[in-house]
Amino acid sequence: MNSLWSDAEAAQFSGPLGPRVYSSRLLGRDKSLVLHGGGNTSVKLREQNAFGEDEEVLYVKGSGWDLETIEPAGFAPVALGYVRRLAGLERLSDPRMVNELATHLLRAGAPAPSVETILHAILPHRYVDHTHADAVLSICNAPQGERRVREIYGDRVVVIPYIMAGFDLAAYCAREFPKQAGPNTIGMVLLSHGVFSFGADARESYERMIRLVSMAEEHLASKGAWRVSPPAAAPSPVKRDEIARLRRAIADCAGFPVVLAANDSPKFLGFARHPEVARISQRGPATPDHVIRTKPLPMLGRDVTAFAASYRAYFERHAARAAEKKTMLDPAPRMALDPELGFVAAGRTAKDAAIVAELYDHTIDVILRAEALGGWQALEERHIFDIEYWDLEQAKLKKAGTPPAFGGEVALVTGAASGIGKACAEAFLKRGAAVVGLDRNPAIEKLFTRPDYLGITCDLTEVRAVETALDAAVKRFGGLDMLVLNAGMFPSSQPIASLADDAWRRAMTVNVEASLIVMRAAHPVLRLAPRGGRVVVIGSKNVPAPGPGAAAYSASKAALNQLARVAALEWAKDGMRVNTIHPNAVYDTALWTDEVLAARAKAYNLTVEQYKRNNLLKTEVSSRDVAELAAEMCGPLFAKTTGAQVPVDGGTEKLV
């Protein structure tokens, strides 16, 4: 491991916290050190209070901040003297500790201090860094881990046995650190937890961390345990309805929808096919910080029914434990391994599932390296339960509150690169859904940069292209819950007498056949949606009230409307509902070019401006108006409605 320190980069970070911010970000860049909010850093400064008196202040990373992107505001300032005194108490409950830290913050609006704040306070060094380095964890979780750690580091580190983070750990370190520390001490190893380094300045503390981790890597390399990889494995073709059935089984047991991300990369698939996977995958996480997100499920195999039974037993065991301790049942993400699927991660959101996958990617490295040292061994189950039902974890569950309306659900929107389709994608994302956007425009792929969005360039008139897109969607998110059929085209205005055959066929192909292809392919997955599949068809005012010069468009939209009505009849038995929105005069879409507007206005003997305002309410209808109704139609307000046709047009005289 090499130092990433750059004096030129460091100079860009000014102010008292500048060096602390910079070195924290350096640690956060390396995912083998910290992942997704893990790790911790602090600095001790002297500042003047309102009376002009000097005070010692500990700035420690605040809750909710990630080292890779932390700003000065991400550090919580606490009164150092008071926090140090807390370590001398005989006992202090963790909830009381959190309260004491919160009431001794020195800046209004600062984030909550880390639960390891007291531990940072008692270390007699200005800068303190804490990571969960993969290399160190591999050694700690191998046979005779403590002995190996002491042999590698000698008097360079203080070695602390595993104690759950919180007051007890800080109090133990306050007593033990002075006994072990000497002039050569540059760090501290918390067995099965992580590694600390410290120094007089940011660079010294950071580069000591790099040195300590490098020593662990060198030890692994000397034992042939550094460059390890699972057995080579080629992916097997997996039907998307199998993944969707698995997602449904997990959701039924958990009691809420989940996003299920499947990963059959060589690394994950090879690990799932490891000859000892049943043993090494069921022993717990690489570090306590990963317990909540990487609790392993039973091995999946190919029998989803059998897996569902195993999952239900697993969930009931945790429910019994929660009842015994009178605590909330943890609804955190889960993961499972399967020799065909590879790895699957379940989470309340796509972000949660993505975090699980990244954490387990590193866990595989830790496990295999520990195996190469003689055998992977993790925390005892009692420690894992203690963390799951820790007072502070319970507080997080209570604070989390009600999940978003479409949390754990997946929406697919066609024609999503612009106009109504893009607005629909935004509306569903806002409500917590993962969204798959399909469009011929390659811009669809970069429409949103976030883990809960997947954009796919796709010609919806091509059956194979649609099938491939659905495979990718289900592999990424586990299934489909909602489908918005928005893609369409508005041919140039032509009277029937001069309507070209190609224009007619193109309108029918894009506006009707493409939607049929998508509906037909999506049905087997939609019917497995935990809350029932929902389809919203974006129709047109031209269905009930066609206009001259729009024969191809009006007829194709009328055919689509009939298709939706038949789907409502046929799919009701699967608990699915199909409803249609008839927008009109939505001018912020690609359909309404200047040429089309001029032609339509001329057909009605109106100016373009008159045509734009040609509704009863004299109001403008936007893409967002249509999108918001589309999202609401997939929500509880329309839970008992199917086959409906709802206008969004400002009022049309012909229809009223």
Active site residues: 553
What's the N-to-C CA distance of the chain in angstroms? 73
Burial class (CB in 10 A: 0-12, 13-18, 19+), 178: exposed
- Give whole-number Cα distances, 443 to 98, 416, 446, in Å: 47, 10, 6
Distance CA 247, CA 253 (A): 10
Q: How many Å apart are CA 395 and CA 384, to the nearest integer?
A: 17
Question: Tokens representing 120?
Answer: 């940072």
Beta strands 40-48 and 577-583 are unpaired
Tokens for 406? 């479409």
Residue whose pair of structure tokens reads 């993969």 in the numeric block? 134
DSSP category for residue 110: P
Cβ count near 570 (within 10 Å): 12
For residues 640, 641, 642, 646, the Cα torsion angle rounded to the nearest 10 degrees is: -170
**Residue 53: count of CB within 10 angstroms of its CB:** 8
Please compute, for residue 220, the number of CA atoms within 13 A of its CA located in the half-sphere on the CB side. 29
Tokens of 331: 């609804």
The two beta strands, 453-457 and 482-485, are: unpaired
Cα–Cα distance, 185 to 154 (Å, whole number): 9
CA distance 360 to 486: 37
Distance between CA atoms of 88 and 96, rounded to whole angstroms? 15
- Residue 259 CA to its chain's centroid (Å): 9
* Cβ atoms 371, 280 nearer than 8 A: yes
Whole-angstrom Cα distance, residue 267 to residue 361?
A: 8
Q: Which residue, among 452, 517, 484, has the nearest Cα to 626 in the 3D structure?
A: 484
Secondary structure (3-state) at 322: helix
Q: Tell which residue, 439, 550, 427, 564, has the closest CA to residue 499.
A: 550
Provide the sign of the torsion angle of the four alpha carbons 451, 457, 461, 466, taken in this order: negative
Kindly state the DSSP code that residue 325 receives in the 8-state scheme: T
Residues 613, 620 contacting (CB under 8 angstroms): yes
For residues 470 and 74, what is the distance between their CA atoms, to the nearest angstrom? Answer: 40
Distance CA(557)–CA(7), nearest Å, equals 64
Q: Are 300 and 281 in contact (CB under 8 A)?
A: no
Strand (E) or helix (H) holding 482:
strand 482-485
